[in-house]
Amino acid sequence: MTDPLVRVLPDAGALAEAVALTLADSARQSIAARGTFTIALSGGSTPRPAYELLANAGNVDWARVEVFFGDERCVPPDDPRSNYALARDALLSRVPLASHRVHPMYGGKESPADAAARYEDLLRARFPATGATFDLLFLGVGPDGHTASLFPGDAALAETSRWVLHVRAPSSFDVPDRVTLTLPALNRSRRVLFMVSGAAKRNVVSRVLDTHDTTMPAALVCGLEATEWLLDAATAP
Ligand code: 6PG
């Protein structure tokens, strides 16, 4: 487990700028080192301003970028609740990135279980059976401590071999059917970057970063080489 680096930015705007710069820097470093940059994108609402700033960061060789997702809600790709729709509208449609280098998790017609199986096959064909997968895994955290679509107490947290699962979100969540990377897949990323904003998440961030509360799924994810938490002041413990 790599000890997390924590950076606190004064407000949500500065946080979005710092995340966009970090993503662009990570892309440049990966492309310089390995000729490509593979990233698994986060969903939710927090990343939007960072995606929009990244789209304007002129110094990324997008032809060498390949985009995956950490999780997806099982809704059509044009549904505003779709994580793919968020990334497409805020970033992917604004940069010169070929569609075959973008890998949505859910197409809208397949069953969630079939989507998970397809994505598992995709990842296993793309990445080696051992060692690093994504150059960067970009994640958010819910107020309950979930990350990707791994929710507290869910049986999916005990998965040790599958890389992708169909899970059901708790009833309080808008979209029940989800496809998510599992911990074995999440924890094979070279670098993990968490972006967390807002006072509503201060408690969960403290439980993860201060008390290392492993009942919080976000506390179970770290990068092979680096783990970084970018927070705004409202979120910092
Ligand atoms: C999802 C995300 C999820 C998200 C958190 C935070 O599908 O919802 O992947 O893990 O990062 O729920 O969401 P917000 O950014 O909307 O607070």
Quick: pLDDT tens for 103-129.
999 999 999 999 999 999 999 999 998
Average pLDDT over residues 212-226: 97
231 C-alpha to center of ligand 1: Å? Answer: 15
Average pLDDT on 198-227 reads: 97
Q: Ligand 1 site: residues with CB under 6 angstroms?
A: 42-46, 70-71, 73, 83, 140-142, 146-149
Q: Tell which phi-psi region holds residue 220, choosing left (phi > 0), alpha (psi between -120 and 50) or beta.
A: alpha
- pLDDT of 164 reads 98
**Average of pLDDT values for 61-89?**
97
Flag whether the pTM goes above 0.75: yes
User: In the predicted model, is pLDDT for residue 81 greater than 80?
Assistant: yes
Question: Distance of CA 146 to CAs 47, 49, 91, 199, 208, Å?
Answer: 16, 21, 24, 16, 11
Q: Is the pLDDT of residue 30 over 90?
A: yes
Q: Whose CA is nearest to atom 10 of ligand 1?
A: 148
Q: Does residue 1 have a pLDDT over 70? A: no
Closest CA to 68 of 216, 220, 196, 179: 179
Q: What is the rounded average pLDDT for all residues in the chain?
A: 97
Residue 3 confidence (pLDDT)? 82
Q: Which atom of ligand 1 is nearest to the CA of 73?
A: 7
Ligand 1 atom having least distance to the Cα of 70:
9
Q: Residue range 26-34: average pLDDT? A: 98
pLDDT (average), residues 10-36:
98
CA distance 142 to 64: 31
Q: What percent of the chain has pLDDT over 70?
A: 99
Q: 75, 144, 146: which to mutate for ligand 1, most atoms within 8 A of CB?
A: 146
Q: Does 237 score more than 90 pLDDT?
A: no
Cα of 149 from ligand 1 centre, angstroms: 8
